[in-house]
Structures are given as C-alpha cells and as structure tokens.
Amino acid sequence: MSTQTLTSDIRAVIEEWADALRNKDATRMLSHYAPNGDDVAFSHSLNRMHGTKTDGAKADLWFRQTFGFQRIKGEWKIAHEHESVPFYMDGSFKAAIDLKP
C-alpha cells in the first residue's frame, strides 16, 4: 500500500469519526474503534527526569508518557510514542515543568 493511499485512508477515518461526533451519532462514531485485539497494547506513565545538562544547568521535571505497541512476528515493538507536560492556563500557555505530583 502506498503512503499516499494510507494517508488518504486514515484521513477518511478521522473525517468520518469527526462527522459522527459532530452529529452526535455514537454508533457511527464507535464503529471506527478497533475491538480489543491481541496484537496492540498501550502503556502510560508519569516520569521524572532529573540530572545535569551538558552546560551544567540542573534539570528536574515530571512528564507524561504514552507508548503504543504492536506485536510483529511475536515481538512487541513501539509503534507510537508521546510525551507531554501540563501547561499554565493563565493565558501564557507556558509548559508547567515545575509541577510535582
């Protein structure tokens, strides 16, 4: 399958899902979700990163991480990774890297 076809197919699913959501059609919206399959898995965590940067500055922050896994030929491989930090909702929208759990 070509990348262009794959992109087009994925966009069609997103557009159909969004249209169903806008029209409050739960059945149509949920039809786009995969059943619980044996070949995908997800994990999420709250992680702390701390240490000294190469310029000597100290770093200490917490962040959320999500992995999406796919089993390929019997081995779990990371198919998707996402990290994020909360942000201040005071209008600045700056990353809130000083928060602690």
Binned at pLDDT 50, 70 and 90, residue 11 comes out as very high
Q: How far apart are CA 64 and CA 43, in angstroms?
A: 11
Kind and range of the H or E run holding 68: strand 58-72
Domain count, the chain: 2
> Which CATH number is 92's domain given?
3.10.450.50
Residues 27 and 45 in one domain: no
Query: Which residues are bridge partners to 11 per DSSP?
Result: none
Residues 43 and 56 in one domain: yes
Q: Which residues contact 1 (CB under 8 A, 6 or more apart)?
A: none
Residues 40 and 29 in one domain: no
Residues 20 and 44 in one domain: no
Residue 63 is which amino acid? Answer: F
Residues 41 and 66 in one domain: yes
The string of pLDDT tens digits covering residues 33-70 is: 988 888 999 999 999 999 999 999 999 999 999 999 99
The lowest-confidence range among 10-14, 67-71, 87-91, 95-99 is 95-99
| Residue range(s) defining the domain that contains residue 60 | 36-101
Residues 53 and 92 in one domain: yes
